[in-house]
Structure 1
Amino acid sequence: MTPAPTLTTARLVLRGPQKRDLAAFTAWLTRSDRMVHVGGKGTERDAWRGFLAGIGHWQWHGYGFFTVTERKSGVATGRVGVINHIEWPQPELAWHMFDGFEGKSYAFEAACAVRDWAGRTLGLEPLVSLISPANARSLRLAARLGAMEDRRDVVDDEKVIVFRHLSYDDPRAVAQGAGAIV
């Protein structure tokens, strides 16, 4: 369905979106309290359109959100990838973990794999992340990834902190990803 490659880490498989992922995405978009940090909860119609836009993003740019799944169970745990919407300052390393899968370091593991893939394969680096100042969990993840605050901005009418990530070949990024990609 998408030109997305499959990335495999110690605990995860990152692959392109598939029809079977729509239900988990819809539940996250319509019910998760954490949607407050990414524009607010949406409707099932919003989820449908957003899901299809994600597939289109892969077709248009050759990159996008990977569906993150557990290797053992195959269950979709979230989305991590590189996005670059209209009026975005540059490609963004972004993550959304579905309810029940936070706090397991899945986002960190997946983000390390995506940062490496985007730099090594696509030459996209260093990436940025656009994070709401109120999104404490994503702020901690950006810091854990070694990202540094670059500036404050407004994107899509939302105040964000723009974090600049390490280059994929920075020794700190290499150490973070060591053993992550199988």
Structure 2
Amino acid sequence: MTPAPTLSTARLVLRGPQKRDLAAFTAWATQSARMEFVGGKVSARDAWRGFIAGIGHWNWHGYGFFTVTEKTTGMATGRVGILNHIDWPQPELAWHMFDGFEGKSYAFEAACAVREWAGRSLGLAPLISLIAPSNTRSLALATRLGAMEERRDTVDGEKVIIMRHLRYDDPRATAQAAGAIT
């Protein structure tokens, strides 16, 4: 089994998924309006399958979604990590924050840490993000991270904008990471 490392930022701890994270993930997957951007709300059974698949992703690829937690409370606030599903064009830097934790720059902070880890520890080329054209919040985050639109495509039957991220060692990425990673 490939254990996820633990990454730390100024306000967050990013760690591998644990059983105790299932309830927060299930609430998000079954109830959040933002699920419209990732295929729609699912049943609790499908949320469980998705959660377990995320653990399997770590074992298959050696990377996956980190559970993002607040340092002060330990509460799970969302997931940020690297995905590479079958028929994906290449590894993707992906994120979703659970309801009540948006607008705090947690996704930005966590994405900076994951981008740094992916480049430095895994040697991955600049990552992409696959974003639904109507997902203005994710497009804004990708832009804030320095990503640029590379092309538009259809992936898994969904229209997406493929945003190309900065290399982890690009001076702009380094400056962003310096402000986020402790």
**Alpha-carbon distance in 2 for matches of 1:107, 1:170:** 20
> Aligned residue for 2:51?
51
**Alpha-carbon distance in 2 for matches of 1:46, 1:162:** 26
Q: Which amino acid in structure 2 is aligned with residue 7 of structure 1?
A: L
> Aligned residue for 1:103?
103
Q: TM-score, normalised by structure 1?
A: 0.99
> Aligned residue for 2:139?
139
Query: SS of the residue aligned with 1:167?
Result: coil
Q: Structure 1 stretches of 5 or more lacking a match?
A: none
**Alpha-carbon distance in 1 for matches of 2:48, 2:122:** 28
Structure 1 stretch 172-181 or stretch 69-78: which is displaced more?
172-181
TM-superposition CA deviations, 1:23-67 (whole Å, max 9, x none): 000000000000001110000011010000000000000000000
Once the two structures are superposed, the pairs formed by residues 24-173 of structure 1 within 5 Å of their partners are 24-173=24-173
**Alpha-carbon distance in 2 for matches of 1:20, 1:99:** 17
Q: Structure 2 stretches of 5 or more lacking a match?
A: none
Query: SS of the residue aligned with 1:178?
Result: helix
Q: CA deviation at 1:101?
A: 0.3
Query: SS of the residue aligned with 1:124?
Result: coil
Q: CA deviation at 1:179?
A: 3.5
Whether the 8 Å contact between 1:9 and 1:180 is mirrored in structure 2 is yes
Whether the 8 Å contact between 1:4 and 1:58 is mirrored in structure 2 is yes
Query: SS of the residue aligned with 2:72?
Result: coil
**Alpha-carbon distance in 2 for matches of 1:13, 1:42:** 27
Whether the 8 Å contact between 1:80 and 1:94 is mirrored in structure 2 is yes
Query: In angstroms, what is the RMSD of aligned CA positions?
Result: 0.8
